[in-house]
Amino acid sequence: MPGLDEFFHPASVAVIGASRTPGKAGNTVVSNMLEFGFEGRLYPVNPGAGEILGLRCYRSLLEVPGTPDLVIGVLPREKTRDLVAECAREGVRHLIIPTAGFSDVGEAGRGLEDEVVSLARTAGIRLMGPNSIGTVCTSGNMATSIVTLERMREGGISLFGQTGMFSSGIARWIDTSEHFGISKIACLGNKADVDENDLLEYLDADVETRVIGAYTEGVRHGARFARVLRDVAAHKPVLVLKSGRTETGRRAIASHTGALSGSEGIYAGLIEQAGAIRVGDFEEMFDCAKALQWQPLPGGNRVGVVSITGVGCVLAADSAGGFGLVLPPPAAGTVARMRESMPAWAPAANPADIWAAIEAFGPRSAYTTVSLALLGDEGVDSLMVIFTLIPESDLDVVGLFSRLKEDRPGKPLAAVLMAGDAGMCREWKRSLETSGFPTYPSPERALRAIGAMWRYASR
């Protein structure tokens, strides 16, 4: 069977069911390809239209010059069988079917899905879907999504799974609120042919992908999944969000993508034993992904914490154990270094509450001295620095983090922007993250990411 590269780097793409009507899926696919600056050949196909978005429109796949590397079939489900037959006749090898109403609606649609897959397999066609929202590849300047996207920032994180959200709402969210950028996205829908094992193997070999995020509602070939996951996780971090934790959830899954979800315990064990990282929701997936993309892996589970506020220290201390982390007391030499910017009566501990130090020495001196001291401690493997964005805490935060990185390049760093002015939080997040330092809105979320990095590092 052919590989998957044409789903992301096709030289030519045909959109069957292309439409001139804005808002229709067959129009959106074409406009997304143009928005992303696709440099290959793009062929809208529709028997009734002469031109779509300035491109010549073809009456049928037969009319398209040559054989397109990738076909997207935006057609009613009754026409799916004919579409696959036509692709087979034309020698097409890669087909995306966004249409829903197959195994995702239960028994009523399963027969048609089986028939379509069987046709495709016989003809050597790799089929993504049905019920797939499409793919994105930033370096390939392409997006086959049936939902309107804007051109996305390029990065090292690739995502795939049974949800259309990756190629629609989540893609938009990442591009308007995060700074890590995306390499590839694939929405697998019902996974009638192309499934998570195929994607894992493809992204393993993909040099542009440094971190993988996967969402699954249940896998068909459990043993193969465990094996492939272990192989891939040995090369790069894989974050897995598995839904269907409860019986109610599993029933909802059956009517979403028709997947059999399997028991909670089996998946939890399988994912962690494979050396992959299990996450509980999308928020945790992206919190971990950005740290893994930008920061070195920690050499141990001992975290240094510097905080402008006592409650930050308490929340950090309260939650560290749950993420497999400890906050060790600083060594005697570290305490002496911390004391250089702390009032004599304030405790020089870990977590370090530096409010009194800021009042006495100013934020720059307090943050720099105490952070460098804790990061330099031989008993500390990573450092989390907590800020609250009030006028009193203003300082050159990127300068501070650059100095920390220069001082101990092998230890991961994380910034917490805990409350304060929302606009200032967005601005600090942008400054820090475009310099490669991950930020989090709470100590718990930062520690959860550091804990995941340590689990991965120690697998």
As given in the structure block, the two tokens for residue 20 are: 């001139």
Residues 279-308 contacting a copy of itself, CB under 8 A = 281-283
Q: Which of 90, 420, 433, 457 binds a copy of itself (CB under 8 A)?
A: 420
Q: Which is nearer to a copy of itself, 315 or 372 (CB)?
A: 315
Q: Which is nearer to a copy of itself, 163 or 209 (CB)?
A: 163
For residues 264 and 258, give the distance between their C-alpha atoms in angstroms, rounded to a whole number: 17
Q: Which of 51, 115, 154, 318 binds a copy of itself (CB under 8 A)?
A: 318
Task: Check if the beta carbon of residue 20 is closer than 8 Å to that of residue 75.
Answer: no
Give how far the C-alpha of residue 76 lies from the chain's centroid of Cα atoms, to the nearest Å: 31
**Taking CB under 8 A as the rule, does residue 243 contact a copy of itself?**
yes
Residues 342-361 contacting a copy of itself, CB under 8 A = 343, 345-347, 349, 351, 353, 355-356, 359
Q: Binding pattern to a copy of itself, positions 213-232, x when CB under 8 A?
A: --x-x---------------
**Taking CB under 8 A as the rule, does residue 30 contact a copy of itself?**
no
Residues 128-187 contacting a copy of itself, CB under 8 A = 147-148, 162-165, 168-170, 172-173, 176-177
Residues 35-54 contacting a copy of itself, CB under 8 A = none
Q: Tell me which residue of 156, 151, 425 sits closest to 289, measured CA to CA.
A: 156
**Taking CB under 8 A as the rule, does residue 398 contact a copy of itself?**
no
Q: Which is nearer to a copy of itself, 12 or 163 (CB)?
A: 163
Q: Which of 86, 204, 272, 444 binds a copy of itself (CB under 8 A)?
A: 444
Q: Which is nearer to a copy of itself, 261 or 368 (CB)?
A: 261
Residues 424-443 contacting a copy of itself, CB under 8 A = 425, 442
CB of 302 to a copy of itself, least distance (A): 12
SS3 string, the chain, reads CCCCHHHCCCCEEEEECCCCCCCCHHHHHHHHHHHCCCCCEEEEECCCCCEECCEECECCHHHCCCCCCEEEECCCHHHHHHHHHHHHHHCCCEEECCCCCCHHHCHHHHHHHHHHHHHHHHCCCEEECCCCCCEEECCCCEECCCCCCCCCCEEEEEEEECCHHHHCHHHHHHHHHCCCCEEEEEECCCCCCCCHHHHHHHHHHCCCCCEEEEEECCCCCHHHHHHHHHHHHCCCCEEEEECCCCHHHHHHHHCCCCCCCCCHHHHHHHHHHCCCEEECCHHHHHHHHHHHHHCCCCCCCEEEEEECCHHHHHHHHHHHHHHCCECCCCCHHHHHHHHCCCCCCCCCCCCEECHHHHHHHCHHHHHHHHHHHHHHCCCCCEEEEEEEECHHHCCCHHHHHHHHHHHCCCCCEEEEEEEECHHHHHHHHHHHHCCCCCEECCHHHHHHHHHHHHHHHCC
Q: Which of 266, 390, 434, 458 binds a copy of itself (CB under 8 A)?
A: 390
Q: Which of 157, 277, 316, 450 binds a copy of itself (CB under 8 A)?
A: 316
Contacts of 429 (CB under 8 A, 6+ apart): 179, 417, 439
Q: Which of 384, 418, 447, 453 binds a copy of itself (CB under 8 A)?
A: 418
Q: Tell me which residue of 47, 96, 51, 32 sits closest to 69, measured CA to CA.
A: 96
Q: Which stretch binds a copy of itself (CB under 8 A): 62-70, 119-127, 205-213, 243-251?
A: 243-251
Residues 10-29 contacting a copy of itself, CB under 8 A = 23, 25
**Taking CB under 8 A as the rule, does residue 395 contact a copy of itself?**
no
Task: Check if the beta carbon of residue 167 is closer than 8 Å to that of residue 187.
Answer: yes
Q: Which is nearer to a copy of itself, 139 or 173 (CB)?
A: 173
The size of the interface with a copy of itself (CB under 8 A), counted in residues, is 78
**Taking CB under 8 A as the rule, does residue 388 contact a copy of itself?**
yes
Q: Binding pattern to a copy of itself, positions 89-108, x when CB under 8 A?
A: -----------xx--xxx-x
**Regarding beta strands 277-279 and 142-143, do their DSSP bridges make them parallel or antiparallel, or are they unpaired?**
unpaired
Q: Which is nearer to a copy of itself, 118 or 255 (CB)?
A: 255
CB of 398 to a copy of itself, least distance (A): 20
Q: Which of 230, 236, 245, 339 binds a copy of itself (CB under 8 A)?
A: 245
**Taking CB under 8 A as the rule, does residue 252 contact a copy of itself?**
yes
**Taking CB under 8 A as the rule, does residue 313 contact a copy of itself?**
yes
Q: Which stretch binds a copy of itself (CB under 8 A): 32-40, 59-67, 270-278, 418-426?
A: 418-426
**Taking CB under 8 A as the rule, does residue 239 contact a copy of itself?**
no
Amino acid at 184: K
CB of 124 to a copy of itself, least distance (A): 30
Q: Which of 34, 85, 311, 457 binds a copy of itself (CB under 8 A)?
A: 311
